[in-house]
Chain A
Amino acid sequence: MTVLEVKNLSYSYGSGTPFYKKALSDISFKIEKGEFVAIIGHTGSGKSTLVSHLNALTRAQSGSIILNGEDIYKKGYNIKKARQTVGLVFQYPEYQLFEETVYRDIAFGPKNMGLSESEIKSRVISAASALEIDKSMFNSSPFELSGGQKRRVAIAGVIAMNPEILVLDEPAAGLDPKGRDRVMRLISEYRKNTGNTVIIVSHSMQDAANYADRVLVLNEGKLYLNGTVDEVFEKADELESIGLSVPPITKILIELHKKGYAVPLNVYTAEDAAKALLPLLKKEVK
């Protein structure tokens, strides 16, 4: 079932001024329920601009967005509904923390939805446990936390609204490798447990390959590629021509393939690569 459809979306900043900048042009794609989609692209390719359209924060100059079968630009459409259906976590979301305690910050979204006190409490608790936020942290100030902890609290604040579609703009940016893996793993588990749709914007090809079902590639405001992980990373040369790359392990296998070795190309992790390469090594030794 299609939950979200973007049709011929175009957007430019500063129309009619010397700062005119076309950020998105004629973008169309569909997202199915329960999918994990990664949006990748070079810096400035329009990823953040695109996701800010998905919950109606930015209004496109042309095109339309169909959310659960309804056009969100239609007259009389309740924008609040779009914001609850599509939960958007911004790039560096720790800037949005403001409450006195972690608990109250996570509760901010559910409270704005007008839920009952007991419902808010259960939402906060389940969102916190999804992001591995310990109950002992509930009463501390969000400003006393480390960067990685802040990040998880901010993400929990959006997850607590229980959005059907969770959109995260670079959820792992600026974290150390361990923190990155943890955030990505938690998001992936969240999707498995709830069956909700997840869209992430990422600079990391590795993350896109490891976690996503499908990859959208943006280049200079246009949708350059749209396909499964295998379909997209197969086109290593095309990706390189727009300044992107494939995961490092995949790159090695592609080079080996070019040299005439019979190796599979859709390999994205070291373990899988080892499995693919071992038989080859044995052959050589013989």
Chain B
Amino acid sequence: MLSDITIGQMFPGNSLIHKLDARYKIVFTIIFMVMLFCANSLIGMAITLLFVIFIYLLAKIPLTMLLKSLKPIIPIVIFMTVFNVFFYSGETVIFKWGIIKLTLEGLKMTGVMMFRVISVISGTAMLTYTTSSIELTDAIESLMSPLKKVKFPVHDLSMMMTIALRFIPTLIEETDKIMSAQKSRGADFESGNIIKRAKALMPILIPLFLSAVTRAGELATAMESRCYRGGEGRTKMKQPKSDKRDYISLVFMIVLTALVISLNYIKF
């Protein structure tokens, strides 16, 4: 079911991770990416994975949730694995059959790829699991505020993001509802060739677009009648605040990344 999609959904909680300043969390996510793509040694990767698990435990997010959000990418992972394992041109051949050969390098490469894909998803999912969309867009607005100097529409952009994020669950719910209604009328989305299936989507897409457009109009009217006129002079109820925990976490992240990178240069 569509409601199984958990990416972008927040898990309310009270943990240290939930309490961190959202701006720092965005920075941490970026640092984490750097760490991830720089990790080339076995120990470095192990540390990164352990770090991910540690963060999930700390945030008290059930690992089953993570597995659920990894489910949609399983086909991609399988596809990548097959290609890498059998078509990567390596030296140390373990097994050979026609043009297909299994090499040690291919296996290694696949392992590294899987590690990266899984870590990227679980790491970024952590950000949305522990941060509400409002905090997130406020944080992005605050991080990008220097760009205001060059007349970049930072506020408008962040308002657009807030609205988009806010309506993802609504749209999913609505799609679910329309799909059920059309299924009740005997619509079939699962069988037939590609053209037939694409056609079968019309009974869902048309009502969905229609209601999205109507809703956008209504929302715009509602915002205008509450005197919304862009970011000019607009203040915030919750000012983003950073404190000691954020600084300590920042130092921790930098040290960890430095450690992972330096492990690349150490020969055991």
Annotate B44-72 by CB proximity to A: 1 below 8 A, 0 otherwise: 00000000000000000010110000000
Cα of A143 to Cα of B12 in the assembled complex, Å: 40
Q: Jot down 25 A-B pairs with beta carbons below 8 A, ordered by A.
A: A17-B62, A17-B65, A55-B184, A57-B180, A57-B183, A57-B184, A83-B186, A87-B184, A89-B184, A90-B180, A90-B184, A95-B174, A95-B177, A95-B178, A95-B211, A96-B182, A96-B185, A98-B203, A98-B207, A108-B185, A108-B203, A109-B185, A157-B185, A158-B184, A161-B186
C-alpha spacing A36/B168, complex, angstroms:
39
Whether a CB of chain B sits under 8 angstroms from the CB of A262 is: no
Residue B210 CB within 8 A of the other chain: yes
Known A16-B62, A17-B65, A90-B181; contact A96-B207, beta-carbon cutoff 8 A: yes
- B194 in contact (CB, < 8 A): no
Contacts of B99 in A (CB 8 A): none
Closest residue on chain A to residue B187 by CB atoms? A112
Using a CB–CB cutoff of 8 Å, the interface residues on chain A facing chain B are: 14, 16-18, 52, 55, 57, 80, 83-84, 87-90, 93, 95-98, 108-109, 112-113, 143, 157-158, 161
User: Which B residues lie within 8 Å of A14 (CB)?
Assistant: 3
Judge whether B11 is part of the interface by a CB distance below 8 angstroms: yes
Measured between C-beta atoms, what is the minimum distance from B167 to chain A in Å?
16
Let me know if A52 and B185 touch, CB within 8 A: no
Decide: A95 near B180, CB < 8 A? Known: A17-B65, A84-B186, A112-B187: no
Interface size of B by CB at 8 A reads 26
A17 vs B6: C-alpha distance when bound (angstroms): 10
List which B139-185 residues lie within 8 A (CB) of chain A. Answer: 174, 177-178, 180-185
Lowest 9 A-B CB distances belong to which pairs?
A112-B186, A96-B181, A98-B206, A109-B185, A88-B184, A98-B203, A90-B181, A57-B180, A98-B207
Contacts of A52 in B (CB 8 A): 180
Complex CA–CA separation, A83 to B189 (angstroms): 14
Alpha-carbon distance A112/B184, docked complex (angstroms) = 10
CB of B266 within 8 Å of the partner chain: no
User: Does chain A have a CB within 8 A of B94?
Assistant: no
Is B202 an interface position by the 8 A CB rule? yes
| Chain B residues whose C-beta falls within 8 Å of the C-beta of A157 in the assembled complex | 185
